[in-house]
Every structure is written in structure tokens, then in C-alpha cells.
Amino acid sequence: MKKRVAHLLMLASLAGTGLTQADSLPEALGSSFEAINHVDMGRLQRDPLQEFCSKPRGQAGDSAMESALRDEAMASVVFPEGDDFIGDWARGAEVANNGRGLQYSDDPEAPNGGNCYACHQLDPTEVAYGNLGPSLMGYGARGQSEVMLRYTWTKLWNTHAYNVCSHMPRFGALGILTEQQLKDLMAYLFDPDSPVNQSIE
Amino acid sequence: MGLMESIRNTRWLSALFGLLIAAAPSSGEDAGIFDEYRAMFGDDNPAIFVIDEGEEYWLEPQGPKNTSLEDCDLGLGPGVVEGAYARLPRYFADVDKVMDVEARLIFCMGELQGRPSAEIEGYPYSMRGDLGTEIEALVAWLADQSSGMPIAPGQEHVKEREFFTLGEQLFYYRAGPHDFSCATCHGQQDKRIRLQSLPDLTSHEGAAASYSAWPAYRISEGIVRTMGWRMRDCFRQQRFPLLGVGSDVTVALQTYLAVTAAGAPMMAPGLKR
């Protein structure tokens, strides 16, 4: 990983001379971006999963690679001690609503948000929800079986365990959210008192 | 009224339009309210002030060489501005590069006016609540000079075709802590983030509707924003580092969008939320 970053930076300084124009992807990336605030050039590097999921639409991937990546994603999941999944739904609501975190315009000291409303419907009274993902309204009705809790935790930790090129971020695996924040989100999804699980007339 | 004075006045006027809207209940978030404001504007896009300002910048002698940009070649010959925007990005033999409008303007400012590129690159796009920049005004004017003309980016030169491919690869390039690519947000129809609709930029219809309307006056900011700014700001949301103005990545992505949109008439400056 370190090596690849160094390579990219070297290309960047080459391209920066302005003598030539980029004719490869890494060269173009290296010469076109600059580190700013807390966001460095390492962000442009892809891990094997990101690289696999960067194919233009319609291009099929290697299926052996796909199952290897799925297994890896599954193996990355860290379950909370004692399978104690449920935190505080009110704090979970804040995490779901907060879209900030990890952009160069964001305060790196402030906690990251989950930005769930960008992609999901949750609380039926909240109208400003996106639809990149399925509606999660009334999620608690799916029950609180061990299977359901572990499935949902896995989705939040590393969604690629179930859908290799899912559009959803890897909130646990890439350290976007803390374990406590994930528990609070679990409560927001499952707690019968959570607004997600209230029906509106 | 002197040139600088009139520039200042038109800038204030357009900034005022922005303030009027910004002062209204947080309309930026609500698509319905935004549509009402848009209806209220009717044909009165405040960008008209910025268009005039752009032409003044074009004609104003500036820099160590104290020359105007009137001899700048945007691809159709020195000084030809009509229809030039619609043919960008394109390959320029004098620099052996594919350029978008911003890269070309910065090049002309250097060549003709002797202005160091760092002067413009350091502050190409205005901050929210600030007055517009010279680049924003020039791009607004140049886009207006292509109004109604079909989008027809260069694709004859091998470099232009390479840049299309590069742009397509970049569009699907997933990286960063959120694993986002452009395609995450702009690869499907009828999607939105919160209440903001996301055009499917991989389809001709989606790309055409979008590309033809930029640069655009953004009501929520009271400023004309360019396609270069749009690329930079989407990369910010993608959690990538800062995208350079006129950089290869921005030119490649705009090539991809313009080729996908090709044939549709330009209708910029547009009016955006």
C-alpha cells in the first residue's frame, strides 16, 4: 500500500512538469489532485475490492475473484462482545441524520455521521430521504432473532459480505463509525420505541 | 460609469439576488420550494449580469502585458467565441493537450496577458457568499455564446478519444473511505440523495440535461458555478482530495459527459437549486 502511494506521488511530480499530458489513470489522478486539510493523496489508492468494483457498467468481473472478495468481507466483520448489539436509538437517530465526516470541508475532530438518510427512508415522518438504497421504515418488524441482528450488523460493518459491489459504505470495516455508533444505529433500526418503528396514520 | 465600477455594480446585483433567496426559509433542501422560486424567476436568470461581466473581462487589458483576451483561441481560431464552448473539451495542437474551457482560459491568460497560472488556480471558484470570480464570469459569457448550439466535443484526435476512455474509467473509479465513484450517485435513473435528484449521467438524456445547463446560477449560493466547480465539489462529497482546475481528471470527466450528451443543444447558463 505504502509503495503504491509512493509510486503515485512520483508520477504526480513527473506530470506536474506540464511537459506531457497524462495518458494513464494513475498519472492523471496523481497530477490532478492535491492533498488538502486532513485529506491526503492516499485516498486515491484502491484496495482490491474497490478495484474489482470499478468496472464500467456491463463489464463482468472474474467470479473466483468475486467470491474471494465476498469471503474476505465476511471475515472482516467484528461482532460486539457478548453479541450485545443494541445501543440507544436517540443517539442512533443523530448518526443516521448526520451526513458529515471525512470530506476535506469537515472538521476531523467531530464524530463522523452515517448519512443513512442520503440513501434510505427510516423515520416515516422524515420526508428528506434518498432512494439509492431500499426503505428501512418499520425495520424492527423483521424481528430480533440472532440471525437478523447478525445479518444487519454485518451489513453495517461490511456490506460487501452479502453484495460484493454494494453501493453502501463499509461503516465498520473502514472505520467510518465506531462500535458504539453502530450499536446506536442498530437500536434505531430495531428498538420498538424508535421512530423508525412507529406507524403514522 | 467606468468599467470597474460597472463590474462592481453588476456583481453586487447578482450577489443581492442570492441573498434574497438565501434569506428565505432553507429552500435549498426542499425541491418543491425550489421549484416555486424557479417559477418566480421566470426567464430572469440572474446569470445575465454575470454574462455581461464576463464579456467585460474578455475585453479588459490585464496582466504584465496589458492585453485583453480578444486573441485567445478557444479552438475555432483567435477571438472566435461564438459556438466555441459547445465544441469543448477538445485537443489543442499548440500545447498538445486536451483542454476544457477553464484550462484554455488560464492558458490564454498566461500567453497573452503574462499572468502566472498560480494567480488563477489558487482561487478559480468563489466561496459561498463571496463575489464571483473572473473565471466564473468568463465561462458564463462563453457558454452563453454557444446557447442553442449542439454539444459537439472534439473526438477526431486520438488524444480526445483517449480522454473519453479515461473519463469513463474515472466515472467508475471507486476509492476513498466511502467507496464512492461518480457511478454510485449518477449511475441509475430516478435516484436522489435526500431530496436532491441525481441525474443518470451514463445515459444520453441524463448527461444532456445536465451538461447543457452548466455553467449555472445556483440560487442557494447566489453565484454562477461552472462544470469545473461541479466536478470539484462532487469529488469533495466523494471524500477525495482537492481537484485542480483545468486538470486532466476534470477535462477527462467533462469529455465523458460532453460526448455522452453530444447533439443536445447548449442552454447555459442554467438555473440550479
Is residue B234 annotated as a catalytic residue, yes or no?
yes
Residue pair A28/A14 in contact (Cβ under 8 Å)? The answer is no
Q: Is A107 domain-assigned?
A: yes
Q: Which residues contact B50 (CB under 8 A, 6 or more apart)?
A: B10, B14, B132, B136, B137, B140, B141, B217, B224, B269
pLDDT confidence of A57, banded at 50, 70, 90?
Answer: confident
- Closest-approach residue (CA) in chain A for B246: A32
Helix (H) or strand (E) holding A128: none
The predicted-structure confidence for B214-225, as pLDDT tens digits, reads as follows 999 998 888 999
User: In whole angstroms, what is the distance from residue B253 CA to residue B168 CA?
Assistant: 7
Q: Per the CB < 8 Å rule, is B248 touching A45?
A: no
A11, A105: one domain: no
Q: Is A26 domain-assigned?
A: yes
A84, A180: one domain: yes
CATH number at residue B48: 1.10.760.10
Q: Number of folded domains in chain B?
A: 1
CATH number at residue A177: 1.10.760.10
From the list A44, A49, A130, the residue facing B240 with the nearest CB is A44
The predicted-structure confidence for A137-162, as pLDDT tens digits, reads as follows 999 999 999 999 999 999 999 999 99
A82, A173: one domain: yes
A81, A167: one domain: yes
C-alpha cell at A142: 423483521
A185, A91: one domain: yes
- Closest-approach residue (CA) in chain B for A176: B177
User: In whole angstroms, what is the distance from residue A71 CA to residue A64 CA?
Assistant: 11
Residue pair B189/B203 in contact (Cβ under 8 Å)? The answer is yes
Print the domain residue range for B42.
3-272
Burial A43-56 (b: 16+ CB within 10 A, else e): bbbbeebbbbbbee
> What Å distances lie between residue A66 and A48, A71, A91, A172, CA to CA?
10, 9, 36, 21
From the list B192, B247, B252, the residue facing A130 with the nearest CB is B192
> What Å distances lie between residue A7 and A50, A52, B248, CA to CA?
18, 20, 18
User: In whole angstroms, what is the distance from residue B39 CA to residue A123 CA?
Assistant: 31
Q: Per the CB < 8 Å rule, is B241 touching A169?
A: no
Q: Is A56 domain-assigned?
A: no
* DSSP one-letter string for B77-127: SBT--TTTGGG-SEEETTTTEEE-HHHHHHHHHHHHH---HHHHHTSSSPP
Q: Per the CB < 8 Å rule, is B242 touching A176?
A: no
In angstroms, the separation between the Cα of residue B138 and the nearest Cα of chain A is 22
What are the residues facing B243 on neighbouring strands? Answer: A33
- The per-residue pLDDT for B29 is 43
Cis before B46 (ω within 30):
no
The predicted-structure confidence for A4-46, as pLDDT tens digits, reads as follows 444 444 344 333 334 457 778 999 999 999 999 999 999 999 9
Task: Give the residue with greater pLDDT, A90 vs B34.
Answer: A90
The CA-to-CA distance between both ends of chain A, in Å, stands at 53
- The per-residue pLDDT for B35 is 60
Q: Per the CB < 8 Å rule, is A55 touching B176?
A: no
- The per-residue pLDDT for B210 is 97
What beta strand segments (E) does chain B contain? 90-92, 97-99, 191-193, 196-198, 216-218, 223-225, 242-243, 270-272
From the list B178, B188, B194, the residue facing A128 with the nearest CB is B194
- Closest-approach residue (CA) in chain B for A25: B166
The number of beta carbons lying within 10 Å of the beta carbon of residue B106 is 22
Q: Per the CB < 8 Å rule, is B252 touching A28?
A: yes
Q: Number of folded domains in chain A?
A: 2
Angle at B16 between CA B13 and CA B17, to 5 degrees: 95
In angstroms, the separation between the Cα of residue B2 and the nearest Cα of chain A is 38
Query: Residue B206 in 3-state DSSP?
Result: helix
Q: Which of B251, B148, B153, B264 is nearest to B208 (CA)?
A: B264
Collect the ranges in chain B with pLDDT lower than 70: 1-43
In angstroms, the separation between the Cα of residue A97 and the nearest Cα of chain B is 10
- The per-residue pLDDT for B230 is 97
Q: Is A12 domain-assigned?
A: yes
C-alpha cell at B41: 424567476
A173, A98: one domain: yes
Q: Per the CB < 8 Å rule, is A169 touching B249?
A: no
Q: Per the CB < 8 Å rule, is A33 touching B247?
A: yes
- Closest-approach residue (CA) in chain A for B196: A130
The predicted-structure confidence for B104-140, as pLDDT tens digits, reads as follows 999 999 999 999 999 899 999 998 878 899 999 999 9
All residues of chain B having their beta carbon less than 8 Å from the beta carbon of residue A170 are 179
Print the domain residue range for A39.
1-45
- Closest-approach residue (CA) in chain A for B107: A18
Q: Per the CB < 8 Å rule, is B250 touching A23?
A: no
From the list A33, A99, A170, the residue facing B242 with the nearest CB is A33
Q: Per the CB < 8 Å rule, is A34 touching B244?
A: yes
All residues of chain A having their beta carbon less than 8 Å from the beta carbon of residue B167 are none
Cell 465506531 sits at which residue? A178
User: In whole angstroms, what is the distance from residue A43 CA to residue A174 CA?
Assistant: 12
The predicted-structure confidence for A62-86, as pLDDT tens digits, reads as follows 889 999 999 999 999 999 999 999 9
Q: With pLDDT > 90 as the criterion, what percentage of chain A qualifies?
A: 83
Given the residues B72, B182, B185, B234, the one annotated as active site: B234
- The per-residue pLDDT for B55 is 97
User: In whole angstroms, what is the distance from residue A161 CA to residue A154 CA?
Assistant: 7
A112, A158: one domain: yes
A33, A84: one domain: no
Phi, psi (rounded to 5 degrees) for B101: -60, -35
- Model-level pTM? 0.89
> What Å distances lie between residue B29 and A133, B24, B259, CA to CA?
20, 12, 31
CB pairs A-B closer than 8 Å: 139
Cell 476535506 sits at which residue? A104
The predicted-structure confidence for A183-200, as pLDDT tens digits, reads as follows 999 999 999 999 999 987
In angstroms, the separation between the Cα of residue B221 and the nearest Cα of chain A is 16
